[in-house]
Chain A
Amino acid sequence: MKKELEKIKKEILDELENIKSGQALEDLEIKFLGRKGELNNILKKIKDLSNDQKKEIGRFANQVKSEITERIEELKGAFEKKEDSFVDVTLPGKKIKPGRLHPITQIQRELEDIFSSMGFMIMEGPELESDYYNFEVLNIPKDHPARDMQDTFFIDKKDKDGRYDTVMRTQVTSIQVRAIEKYGAPLRCIMPGRVFRAEDIDACHEHTFYQMDGFMVGKNLSVANMITLMKEVLAKIFPGELKMRTRPGYFPFVEPGIEIDVSCTICGGQGCSACKNSGWLEIFPGGMIHPNVLKAAGLDPEEYNGFAFDIGVTRLAMMKYGVDNIRLFNSGDLRFLEQF
């Protein structure tokens, strides 16, 4: 039987030497290696052999089969190259439609990366927030204009004094005191999220938008530290030559309060409609955390201080991507979303 195998092996290899076309090769493959091919006919007989022989012949048979198969495959490759028609390499591949991340998600990630690289942790908080964390701890007294009905969405539930005590948070600054309560000081933290204002919606106004606040608390922080860090962040957000200026601003939860403006990214500082002809874009408010806020968070303002800042993420996305209609972000319109 071994001889039989040797013989068929030689026969096949000889024929293979003289083969001329891919079709002939295929025919040959069926003739010898097919289910009812000659090699198989021989192999079927193995079962009649003794156990010892089975082992020996079986191994040899496999060796023969693989040798032949290898040769056939080799030739196949050669024929295919020769015979195949012209390949238009400029044809596109099979279309795969990419999924997209929402532009706000993308901007948020950029910002989170910047702050993470500086050792800031990321903390989120509840969107439906108590009046206490949204206003009271932030040094916004009961009759501050920001509490007016037209600015805040109140939840239709009153406390025992007959006042609405929960709101859709109007600012992510509401997380600041929660963060300090949870992690103590020193701490550096950013707080991204969705915020709400009871405003009618048009191309420039939304009742639902995104902010990212950040803050640092510690024992030896200064106004100079705050400005240096905020400018560093701005330089990362707007790479390239960009002028910045720092001026006073007023926010109840900081003292002193500042605003850092950047030269208008659209007109380069010449004055245009985007910057209301001032050449500057108001982009980055901040300030030293008000002692009352530190106290509310359980820190002694004589021992600790800190600074906080806020980035209007939706506004930044509008500036960065040149979006002139704020409604698009919550529209679910793929003609918009697929551009990012």
Chain B
Amino acid sequence: MYLSLNWLKDLVDIPSSLKPRELGDKLTMHTVEIDSVETQAEKFNNVVIGKVLEVSDHPNADRLRVAVVDAGLKEDLKIVCGAPNLEKGQMVAVALVGAQLPNGLVIEERAVRGELSQGMICAEDELGLGDDHAGIMVLEKGAKIGKPFSEYLKLDDVAFEVDNKSITNRPDLWGHLGMAREIAAFLGVKTTKKFKKILEAKMEAKGPEELDVKVEDKELCPRYSAVKIEGLTVKPSPKWIADRLSAAGMRPINNIVDATNYVMLELGQPLHAFDADLVESIVVRKAKKSEKTETLDGKARELDPSMVVITDGKKTIAIAGVMGGKDSEVNENTKDILLESANFDPVNIRRTSQKLGLRTESSMRFEKSIDPNMTVIALARCLEILKETCPKAKFTSQVFDESNFKLDQGPIELNLSWLAKEIGEDLGEKKIEETLIDLGFEIKKDKDNWQISIPSWRATKDVGIKEDIVEEIVRIHGYDELKPENPLVPMRSSLVNKERKLEADVRDVLSGACHMSEVYNYSFTSEDKLKKLNISPSGYIRLANPITNVHTLLRQNLFSNMVDNVKTNQARYDELSLFELGKVYFDTPGNINKYPDQEDNLPFQETRIGLLEAGGKQEEVYRKLKGKLEYLCEKLGLNVHYGVSEMIPDWADKETYASMIVEGEEVGFIFKFDQKTLGGLGVKKETAVAEIYLPKIISLAEARGDKKYQEPPKYPAVERDLAFVVDDKVLYNDIKEEIESFDGLVSKVELFDVYQGGQLGSGLKSLAFHIEYRDSQRTLESKEVDDLQKKLSKSLQDKFDAKIRDF
């Protein structure tokens, strides 16, 4: 919405010393966000007055001509122009190169059908001054060559652009009058006599005629006022009205339409004028199923029974509060009008305008819950404006006015010491009283307890509790004017969020010693993606309203998106090491409640740690990833080993899929992607991933408790190496377990070499272990250890058919 400074000055005494920009800043600081402050003259930067010196035909185009124009510059301009009314000797508005016209057009020097054109001779619509595009705008003879066009128009107004979002809760600020009230309050100045006069307007209906109006749905139409006005002639509005509408961002159309718009922009109350000759009676009702109507904008609209329409008893003549109908609109022959000033249910209007995809100046206001008390005042004001062009205009009917609304105007109880405590400062009784009175509140005092009545224009939904009054007082005072004061609270240290802390540790380890880079991926996936991974989407949680077909389902793992990161980077990097911490979502009830006191739980969601290695040699990728995984677990104090999984998913390389096990609990999985799957995804690098279930890790880490010091062993250990060849299907886990449990003196078992292929031949692998023997009570004799080694070798031979290698 735009505000006109001249208009505001009509309604409030703005000191002339206050610069427009300062007023804009103050509005922002006390009331609404002002996005820009623009003098009207700025709209016509680089548009000057020129004289057409010569006109000649365009050599290459029948409809175009070439004009030589004196625009007060050193050299005359050559301008190609298509207007039929162009004539030698005319004074015209010339947009010079660099001008940006109100319709957004930027003027450049360019060739038009082979002829150079150094500017543009403007038509009214191009200048935003009307909708005439029949020809160029011809100026009065007295216009001075080279002078700015804005001077010719005598434009002295300033437009403030209001951020509409910042007044969604302020129905009273959708017109100049409400803004003027605010300005008076924060500047500490008075509103004008005109301000009062507009609001005090009394309807004195002059005509005897009773309007035939019936409001069938009083719920959705809490007030309907209407009156007949006769004695009108359709013509252009006077310049001052047109100027104000333009400054407020509306295009002048004709005196009647302009008058309704003028009143709306002034009071915030939308009006609609029907041609009285085309409308005999009015019925406000719900639309019928599949009812069709043509709106003012020439579009056919299909309605449904949730919408409210205005009908003449037979056909629909307007969609209530949204837009008038084509059939009954004011036209050049209109003499009498039926003027509607109503109030409609805000929620219903918003839904209707959404359903129709039709947001209008009118619907925008109704959906904010405007004050139903304004309807009749607006009718009176509209007649006043119409009289500017048609002095004989008058009401020729009784005013129809039916209402069914009740506003809660309080009073609100306000205790002054509570107020001071809530604000953090006592602003003084006088200041508080003045502010509230300026804003239209009424006060009944009982010492420190005040009863505050809410003005009707703030009572529709905006103000209702004492905290709302706090806002009124502090914002008019100015938030930055408050004395700074820190909260006084007990100096308690905060509870530690263990999960967050562990997440931070994980990130540090992975980005640190593991040299991995952190990625963030979307929480979503799609059917198409899952298909490529051979995963059925049936168990996936689905978005009801996805906005793109690549994000339709909620992810159940991190790797399906992480593998795309390989694709993104594979052309530029030989090897990739990535990790991600993110949530996955499952369609089973989790452990977080949906409501405070019900059993119902939200779907299961957990944080996962995803690790990915890509590039490099086949086996290395997998083992490198395992190494990092083990390093991470060791840093977290967890002892991890791998388990063979019974269920191997299709997307994994069968031989590499394993579960991660800590203290007997499965905490994640690791695998190398199947080559075919990678191919289908467009990934060209060998890729291995692991995923860890963070909540599992957290509970295991917590159960572990604090670290405890252990005294180093008193007696030395004896180390022996043992290498042997076994069938490659014999599991490391089994061998390790066998060695560990084979004798009580075995204190540590560590694999230090694995070898496959080469001279060994296929189907075999060689494993080499460091084995440490230790007795906590004595030094072991080398002979007894040698004997143990022999026994161990024998048992490995028996159990696993191991062939001991000799070094």
Residues of A near any B CB (own CB < 8 A): 96-102, 104-105, 109, 112, 116, 119-130, 132, 143, 145, 148-149, 152-157, 164-166, 168, 181, 183, 186, 188, 194, 196, 198-201, 207-208, 216, 218, 220-225, 227-229, 231-232, 244-250, 255-258, 276-278, 288, 290-291, 298, 305, 329-335, 337-338
Contacts and interface: CB of A to CB of B under 8 A. Distances in A.
Nearest to A329: B520
Given A99-B510, A248-B475, A228 B517 contact: no
Contacts of B551: 207
A334 B572 contact: yes
A332 B479 contact: no
B492 interface: yes
A186 B489 contact: yes
20 contacts: A99-B516, A112-B500, A124-B500, A127-B605, A183-B495, A188-B489, A198-B545, A216-B487, A218-B487, A220-B488, A221-B487, A225-B424, A227-B482, A229-B487, A248-B32, A258-B479, A278-B35, A330-B522, A332-B562, A332-B568
A223 B547 contact: no
Given A129-B602, A143-B350, A121 B495 contact: yes
Contacts of B484: 224, 227-228, 231
Contacts of B515: 96-99
A222 B422 contact: yes
A132 B595 contact: yes
B494 interface: yes
Nearest to A200: B547
Given A130-B595, A256-B470, A334 B169 contact: no
B568 A331 contact: yes
Nearest to A229: B487
Most buried by B among A128, A145, A166: A128
Given A207-B551, A250-B169, A122 B500 contact: yes
Q: Which of B32, B424, B465, B548 has the most CB of A within 10 A?
A: B424
Contacts of B189: none
B467 A291 contact: yes
Contacts of A227: 479-480, 482, 484
A334 B569 contact: yes
Given A225-B424, A248-B475, 18 more contacts: A99-B514, A119-B491, A122-B500, A127-B605, A155-B542, A156-B541, A196-B523, A208-B523, A216-B489, A222-B424, A223-B422, A224-B484, A227-B482, A255-B470, A256-B474, A288-B422, A330-B522, A334-B569
Nearest to B604: A128
Nearest to A335: B572
Contacts of B507: 101, 105
B547 A156 contact: no
Contacts of B514: 99
B624 to A, nearest CB: 13
Contacts of A250: 166, 168-170
A274 to B, nearest CB: 14
B334 interface: no
B545 A124 contact: no
Given A198-B545, A247-B479, A248-B479, A188 B470 contact: no
Contacts of A298: 596
A337 B595 contact: no
A119 B494 contact: yes
Interface residues of B, number: 94
Contacts of A128: 541, 554, 585, 602-603, 605
Given A100-B517, A248-B30, A166 B602 contact: yes
B354 A148 contact: yes
A119 B421 contact: no
Nearest to B509: A99
Given A116-B494, A120-B494, A333-B569, A156 B602 contact: no
Contact of B465 (A132, A223, A255, A305): A255
Q: Which of A99, A152, A256, A277 has the most CB of B within 10 A?
A: A99
Nearest to B166: A250
A120 B489 CA distance: 12
Contacts of B495: 121, 183
Given A120-B494, A121-B497, A277-B36, A102 B518 contact: yes
B423 A338 contact: no
Tell which of A109, A164, A222, A245 has the most Cβ of chain B within 10 Å: A222
B443 interface: no
A124 B499 contact: yes
Contacts of A228: 484-487
A244 B484 CA distance: 13
Interface string B574-608: 00111100010100001010111000001101000
Interface of A is mostly: mixed
A245 B480 contact: yes
Contact of B518 (A99, A143, A216, A257): A99
A258 B523 CA distance: 32
A222 B485 contact: yes
B511 interface: yes
A104 B580 CA distance: 12
Nearest to A192: B500
Contacts of A329: 520
Given A120-B494, A128-B554, A130-B602, A222 B423 contact: yes
Nearest to A98: B515
B112 interface: no
B480 A153 contact: no
A17 to B, nearest CB: 38
B564 interface: yes
A291 B351 CA distance: 28
Contact of B467 (A105, A121, A132, A256): A256
Contact of A225 (B33, B166, B487): B487
B511 A101 contact: yes
Nearest to A207: B547
A218 B388 CA distance: 60
B519 A256 contact: no
Contacts of B687: none
A124 B35 contact: no
Contacts of A200: 547-548
A101 B807 CA distance: 46
Contact of A126 (B423, B486, B522, B592): B592
Interface string B131-149: 0000000000000000000
Nearest to B602: A126
Contact of A224 (B168, B424, B576, B605): B424
Contacts of A102: 518-520
B795 interface: no
B545 A153 contact: yes
A281 B737 CA distance: 63
B42 to A, nearest CB: 12
Contacts of A100: 511, 517-518
Contacts of A223: 422-424, 470, 474, 479, 482
5 nearest A-B residue pairs (beta carbon): A224-B424, A222-B424, A256-B471, A332-B565, A246-B479
A228 B497 CA distance: 26
B497 A123 contact: yes
Contacts of B29: 245, 247
Contacts of A123: 497
Contacts of B347: 143
A126 B585 CA distance: 10
B405 to A, nearest CB: 18
A276 B36 CA distance: 9
A148 B541 CA distance: 21
A148 B568 CA distance: 34
Contacts of A153: 543-546
Contacts of B35: 276, 278
Contacts of A305: 422
Contacts of B470: 223, 255-256, 288
Contacts of A132: 594-595
B573 interface: yes
Contacts of A97: 515
A99 B517 contact: yes
